[in-house]
């Protein structure tokens, strides 16, 4: 195995350098999560969103100013290398589609896409056409519904309805199950709860249950009918 | 034909049919299709209550669950590489916490390391982190073991023993005797050792599975 030495011209354009680093051929603007840039060639400036001339981007690409401060805009021309704690990194293309992903897993995205908060807490949704880069602990595996997924192994889903919770407590029923439930003898299988996907689309799963730390997606407005919004009933 | 199909280096897929039981480490299910139930195995494997008590006493009672029903299940754990071993009647020695999943057609047992080499067997168990007991699987079926870094197989034939670092040892298949060899010298005492003072020598007929890392699970 030989080591390839890259320079500004031989670095891959919008492709992986190795399984853990991704090179963006930047000409214009990209959004990236804070702290995910590892190196760059060229003239690139990194600005926090919401300051000065970039103010209008919040309106066009974020729609929700609440979590915009977790993102920076890379603008300029050059090659930009992205990585996240040696997790597997991959790019995905959306073609007039939608994809919901765990907030901590999303590294960077094309400004043609718009980022919105999902109604599932901890997840964000990307809508439109463009490229984005996401990290996962172990390679991502694509599966099609109907499927039930361990909550920790779920990375995201595309073009399919939001999941629901599935509980499986069959082994806690009956006489022996009751004894088990009361005494704790025999323990739990750790698989009593899954996310169930139905309908058509694609589900992205990672090969381990170890999560990437979540990024705050911001609070939702305190409103009736908004999941996670605080007033649960009207006064 | 193996019952376990690799999905990628860190995940396997298994088909479950009625009447065929799988055992897997608890919490190692990634996703499944169909109607499959996951029951914590009270006995931690096979062989009835007495062998379960035996395993508990010996600290080899890995938290296992029984997987049954009809469908396909994906397993993976902790971001470790998964290696599938197909057994066709041979004996496999493996540490219980490295077991990701195995087919119910395999017979599970526990062996006392001291029965192989007396006191040195005990020392070896401590040095390799295996403890005093290790799990055996025997029969026809597939086993998925976890390892840090990729796994490769080293064949052992009579007269050609293999020395492995105890930390890189994953499991072994076949009729092998293992012996802990030491190369301790005064240099180790003053902290100038080579770091390879203990080695595991395996001899006989079989295969040793080694991981490309010295990190224990």
Residue B15, pLDDT > 80, answer yes
CB A143 within 8 A of CB A207: no
Chosen from B49, B55, B76, B144 to mutate, greatest number of chain A CBs within 10 A: B76
Residue B130, pLDDT > 70, answer no
Least CB-CB distance to A147: which of B11, B33, B40? Answer: B33
Q: Could you tell me which residues of chain B have a Cβ less than 8 Å from any Cβ in chain A?
A: 7-11, 26-33, 37-42, 63, 65, 74, 76-80
* Mean pLDDT for all residues in chain B: 80
Nearest CA in chain B to A138: B79
| Residue B96 to residue B46: CA distance in whole angstroms | 13
Give A148→chain B minimum CA distance, Å.
5
Residue B38, pLDDT > 80, answer yes
Cα dihedral value A62, A64, A70, A72, nearest 10: 30
Residue A225 lies in a domain: no
Say whether A209 and B78 touch across the interface (CB within 8 A).
yes
Residue A34 lies in a domain: no
Q: For residue A122, what pLDDT is reported?
A: 83
Q: For residue A104, what pLDDT is reported?
A: 86
Q: What's phi and psi for B199, nearest 5 deg?
A: -135, 150
Half-sphere exposure of A232 (CA within 13 A, CB side): 1
Residue A148 lies in a domain: yes
Q: For residue B13, what pLDDT is reported?
A: 93
Counted across chains A and B, CB pairs separated by less than 8 A come out at: 95
Say whether A191 and B26 touch across the interface (CB within 8 A).
yes
Q: Which residue has the higher pLDDT, B51 or A225?
A: A225
Q: What is the pLDDT along chain A (235 residues), one digit of tens a residue?
A: 567 888 888 888 888 988 899 999 999 889 888 888 888 999 998 887 766 666 666 666 776 655 667 788 888 999 999 988 888 898 999 999 999 999 889 999 988 888 888 888 888 899 999 999 999 888 889 999 899 998 889 999 998 888 888 887 666 666 666 666 666 565 666 677 889 999 899 999 988 777 777 776 667 777 777 777 665 554 4
Helix H or strand E segment including A126: strand A123-136
Residue A152 lies in a domain: yes
Say whether A207 and B11 touch across the interface (CB within 8 A).
yes
Residue A60 lies in a domain: no
CB A117 within 8 A of CB A125: yes
Q: What 3-state DSSP class applies to B168?
A: coil
Q: For residue B1, what pLDDT is reported?
A: 47
Can you list the positions of beta strands (E) in chain B?
Answer: 4-8, 11-16, 22-25, 29-40, 64-75, 81-94, 99-103, 107-112, 133-147, 151-156, 162-164, 169-182, 198-211
Nearest CA in chain B to A149: B31
A14 has which bridge partners?
A: none
Residue B120, pLDDT > 70, answer no
CB A24 within 8 A of CB A79: yes
Q: For residue B4, what pLDDT is reported?
A: 92
Give A188→chain B minimum CA distance, Å.
6
Say whether A210 and B40 touch across the interface (CB within 8 A).
no
- Please report which confidence band the pLDDT of residue B108 belongs to, taking 50, 70 and 90 as the band edges: confident
**Lowest mean pLDDT across A188-192, B140-144, B153-157:** A188-192
Chosen from B40, B62, B68 to mutate, greatest number of chain A CBs within 10 A: B40
Residue B118, pLDDT > 60, answer no
In angstroms, how far is CA B131 from the centroid of its own chain? Answer: 13
**Averaged pLDDT, B67-93:** 91
| Residue A118 to residue A110: CA distance in whole angstroms | 18
**Averaged pLDDT, B58-74:** 80
* Domain hosting residue A153, numbered range: 137-183+191-210
Q: What is the pTM of this model?
A: 0.79
Q: Quick: pLDDT tens for B158-195.
A: 988 888 888 888 899 988 887 777 766 666 666 666 66
How many separate domains does chain A show? 1
Q: For residue B197, what pLDDT is reported?
A: 65
**Averaged pLDDT, B11-21:** 91
Q: For residue A70, what pLDDT is reported?
A: 76
Residues of B in contact with A192 (CB under 8 A): 38
Residue B207, pLDDT > 90, answer yes
Say whether A168 and B37 touch across the interface (CB within 8 A).
yes
Residues of A in contact with B26 (CB under 8 A): 187-191
**Averaged pLDDT, B15-29:** 89
Residue A177 lies in a domain: yes
Least CB-CB distance to A190: which of B11, B27, B41? Answer: B27
Residue A176 lies in a domain: yes
How far lies A46's CA from each of A29, A130, B79, B90, in Å?
10, 21, 33, 60
- Please report which confidence band the pLDDT of residue B196 belongs to, taking 50, 70 and 90 as the band edges: low
Is the C-alpha dihedral spanning A54, A58, A61, A65 positive or negative?
positive
Residue A157 lies in a domain: yes
């Amino acid at each position: 195995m030989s080591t390839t030495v890259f320079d500004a011209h031989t670095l891959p354009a919008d492709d992986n350098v190795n399984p853990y680093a991704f090179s963006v051929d930047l000409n214009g603007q990209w959004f990236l999560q804070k702290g995910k840039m590892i190196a760059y060639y060229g003239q690139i400036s990194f600005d926090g969103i919401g300051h000065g001339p970039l103010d209008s981007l919040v309106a066009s690409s974020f729609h929700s100013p609440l979590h915009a401060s977790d993102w920076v805009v890379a603008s300029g021309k050059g090659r930009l290398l992205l990585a996240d704690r040696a997790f597997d990194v991959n790019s995905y293309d959306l073609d007039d589609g939608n994809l919901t992903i765990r907030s901590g897993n999303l590294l960077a995205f094309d400004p043609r896409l718009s980022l919105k908060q999902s109604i599932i807490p901890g997840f964000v949704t990307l809508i439109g056409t463009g490229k984005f880069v996401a990290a996962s602990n172990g390679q991502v595996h694509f599966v099609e519904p109907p499927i039930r997924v361990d909550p920790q192994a779920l990375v995201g889903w595309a073009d399919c309805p939001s999941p629901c919770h599935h509980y499986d407590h069959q082994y806690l029923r009956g006489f022996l199950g009751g004894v088990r439930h009361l005494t704790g003898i025999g323990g739990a299988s750790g698989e009593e709860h899954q996310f169930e996907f139905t309908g058509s689309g694609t589900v992205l799963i990672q090969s381990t249950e170890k999560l990437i730390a979540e990024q705050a997606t911001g609070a939702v407005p305190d409103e009736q009918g908004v999941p996670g919004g605080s007033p649960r009933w009207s006064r | 034909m193996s019952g376990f199909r690799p999905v990628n280096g860190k995940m396997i897929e298994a088909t479950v049919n009625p009447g065929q039981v799988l055992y897997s480490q608890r919490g190692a299910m990634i996703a499944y299709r169909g109607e499959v139930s996951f029951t914590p195995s009270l006995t931690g494997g096979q062989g009835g209550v007495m062998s379960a008590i035996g395993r508990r006493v010996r600290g080899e009672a890995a938290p296992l669950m029984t997987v049954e029903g009809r469908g396909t299940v994906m397993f993976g754990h902790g971001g470790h590489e998964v290696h599938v071993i197909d057994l066709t009647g041979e004996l496999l020695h493996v540490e219980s916490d490295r077991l990701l999943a195995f087919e119910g057609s395999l017979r599970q047992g526990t062996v006392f390391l001291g029965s192989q080499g007396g006191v040195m067997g005990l020392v070896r168990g401590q040095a390799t982190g295996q403890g005093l007991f290790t799990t055996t699987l025997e029969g026809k079926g597939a086993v998925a073991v976890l390892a840090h870094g990729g796994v490769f197989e080293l064949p052992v034939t009579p007269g050609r023993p293999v020395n492995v670092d105890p930390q890189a040892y994953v499991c072994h298949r076949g009729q092998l005797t293992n012996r802990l060899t030491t190369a301790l010298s005064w240099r180790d005492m003053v902290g100038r050792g080579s770091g390879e003072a203990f080695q595991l020598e395996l001899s006989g007929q079989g295969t040793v599975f080694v991981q490309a890392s010295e990190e224990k699970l």
